[in-house]
Amino acid sequence: MPVPPSQLFGMVPLVGRADDRGMTTDTASNTANNTANNTPNNTANNKDLVETFIQELFTKGNLDAVDQYLDPTLVNHDPPFPGAPDGPEGMRQAAAMFRRALPDWHSDVEELVGEGDIVVERFTASGTHRGELMGVAATGRVIVLRGIQMFRIENSMIVERWGRLDELGLLRQLGLAHQ
């Protein structure tokens, strides 16, 4: 039975100042960390880290990328699906779910913007629907999912993540929402 659209995504909008959005560091230390990391080299390294993580986990299907790139204390402000476990395990389960349903799933980075310890990725992911996804049997159609993610990096590990997906577009492609 398909999952009701109202239960598919548990995301909340980013509104207000960074400290109002639940960043895990206090404002003073986050500002100091951002200033210390706000060099072209550190920013480039952080962007490379995020792009490599995305490609390893979602394009190559390497579930071990979760352990390599995500801090064990990762705060995932926007769980990838309802009921997803906190921390890195939720990301691992999301990648596994998409990989099972869409074995050729891959993510194309459209834009990657970094400043200090923050990296923002805008992406388009796609794959052929060959297995059950969100209660919907395989259709053989290509599924396209657009989204944006923001990551905070600390000590060469991703420690926080925020994300938005085109949930309505995904639901429409799966036949769970009207065109």
Calculate mean pLDDT across residues 67-77. Answer: 97
Predicted confidence at residue 2, as pLDDT, reads 53
Asked if 138 contacts 122 with a C-beta cutoff of 8 angstroms, the reply is no
Q: How far is Cα 153 from Cα 151, in angstroms, rounded to an integer?
A: 6
Predicted confidence at residue 1, as pLDDT, reads 52
Predicted confidence at residue 38, as pLDDT, reads 59
Whether this prediction's pTM lies above 0.85 is answered by no
As to burial, measured by CB atoms within 10 angstroms (0-12 exposed, 13-18 middle, 19+ buried), residue 60 is: middle
Asked if 96 contacts 105 with a C-beta cutoff of 8 angstroms, the reply is no
Predicted confidence at residue 81, as pLDDT, reads 81
107, 126, 124, 129: which is closest to 175 by C-alpha? 129
Q: Are strands 142-154 and 118-128 parallel, antiparallel or unpaired?
A: antiparallel
Predicted confidence at residue 27, as pLDDT, reads 36
Average pLDDT, the chain: 84
